[in-house]
Structure 1
């Protein structure tokens, strides 16, 4: 019994839309980073799902591996920036980040 490709694409679309809405609505920098990670994981799910259709070709899995590596680097750099911002302003709201331009 196999799961149809459409189900994977629907779940990935719901994940991506949840991440996009979270990124656009929320103001907490940590939530923004988690929303970006959610959108990247939706793309990973789509790539692996389409790779299931072509079992001899591993291009989708290779792209997923690189996306995971880039997401890990993005999380490390993003958290370092959030920590530095928190030490400077004692808040993690993205609305207060424009105050750094002084």
Structure 2
């Protein structure tokens, strides 16, 4: 039963990785990163159930808290990029250096 959850976690992580690699839209890349974080949370919870302790659950809650803060900051960056540059292409980040 745990193997099913871990398999689902690996599949979700691979979909997220594919989205990060193949997409150019910043918002889609952030959504793919969130999918990867949720896949890691699923693996943490499944492995914690396997070992019959609560460490994975606590770690998953901490990751969700950090992901919420990251999502708020990422949304602010996306809104500012769209306001200043007019598009959400990942090549816009190279313009932010200078």
Moved segments of 4+, more than 3 Å: none
d(CA) in 1 for partners of 2:97, 2:84: 13
The TM-score, its normalising length taken from structure 1, stands at 0.91
The structural deviation recorded for 1:101 is 2.4
1:42 matched to which residue of 2? 39
Q: Which runs of 5+ in 1 are unaligned?
A: none
d(CA) in 1 for partners of 2:77, 2:97: 15
d(CA) in 1 for partners of 2:89, 2:63: 27
2:57 matched to which residue of 1? 61
The TM-score, its normalising length taken from structure 2, stands at 0.95
1:14 aligned counterpart, secondary structure:
helix
2:24 matched to which residue of 1? 27
d(CA) in 2 for partners of 1:96, 1:64: 32
After superposition, the CA RMSD in angstroms is: 0.9
Q: How many residues align?
A: 98
Mark the structure with the bigger radius of gyration: 1
Q: Which runs of 5+ in 2 are unaligned?
A: none
The question of 1:75 aligning with 2:71 is answered yes
